[in-house]
Amino acid sequence: MDPSAARYLEALTAEATAVLGERLVGVYAHGSLLLGGYLPTRSDIDVLVVVADPLSSAEQADLAARLSEDALPCPAVGLELSVVLTSVAAAPTARPAFELHVTTAPGDRKVVDGHGHPGDLDLVLHFAVCHALGHAPFAEVPPPLVRAQVTDELAWAAEHNPSEYAVLNACRAWRYAVDGTLVSKVDGGRWAEPRLTGSERTLVREAIALQSGEETSPLDPDVVRTFVRRLRDVIRTEA
């Protein structure tokens, strides 16, 4: 693991422990930091915190303050963290409940109170990755829930983020549809590239270079949308 990220996670764990004490079940990193493809200049640090009991409003505020960018600077683009109950991690649903959500990336800094919230669709894939990584509190997410979420993400990315992220996320989703393996975006692209031909193979190669910081020229959004929509159709036939 990247040394700066490891130190950051140690500090984050200490702050969570100071607030939650023995009720803290664990702090679990996931995403590119563990799956591969982590690049501090382009990646978030993704974390799930599991607790035994619901957080009070005072605990939510205290933890959010301790994890803010001012209090605990993130060595990557930003922190993306959710606090969830053990009972939620052990029984995944299509929209898992959460206690608290904190992000610190510039332009996307927010603190969301999970109490009374309908739940977070993104947690489906986060839970699935944590289970795949062997993080004990996380039960296996039913494959239909994972497939539904990856397909929905493709639709969203094609319209709102037609970039290397959308291309590589589509490749990662394709890999899951084929063999049930969850990988990083970069590894999804590496898996897909030899299975493609012509301009699509070139597009994936360029997306990998961009995601890895080796290229700076942006991809054509219309080309990205066409590619993602085609892969979405392919994935639907695999499901």
Residue 107 has a CB neighbour count (10 Å cut-off) of: 6
DSSP 195-223: G--HHHHHHHHHHHHHHTTS--SPPPHHH
C-alpha to C-alpha distance for 175 and 80, rounded to whole angstroms? 24
C-alpha to C-alpha distance for 70 and 88, rounded to whole angstroms? 30
For the whole model, what pTM was predicted? 0.88
The burial class, CB within 10 Å (0-12 / 13-18 / 19+), for 178 is middle
Burial 207-239 (b: 16+ CB within 10 A, else e): bbebbeeeeeeebeeebbebbbeebbeebeeee
DSSP helix/strand/coil, 80: strand
Per-residue pLDDT tens digits for 65-119: 999 999 999 999 999 999 999 999 999 999 999 999 999 999 899 999 999 999 9
What's 3-132's CATH class? Answer: alpha beta
Per-residue pLDDT tens digits for 16-35: 999 999 999 999 999 889 98
Q: Please report how many Cα atoms fall inside a 13 Å half-sphere around the Cα of residue 179, on the Cβ side.
A: 9
Domain ranges in the chain are: 3-132, 143-238
Residue 219: per-residue pLDDT:
93
CA distances from 101 to 47, 106, 127 (A): 10, 16, 15
Per-residue pLDDT tens digits for 187-218: 999 999 999 999 999 999 999 999 888 877 89
Residue 216: per-residue pLDDT:
77
pLDDT bucket at 161, cuts 50 / 70 / 90: confident
The total number of residues written for the chain in this structure: 239
* 3-class DSSP string for 137-190: CCCCCCHHHHHHHHHHHHHHHHHHCCCHHHHHHHHHHHHHHHHCCCCCHHHHHH
Between 112 and 159, name the one with better pLDDT.
Answer: 112
48: tokens are 């799930």
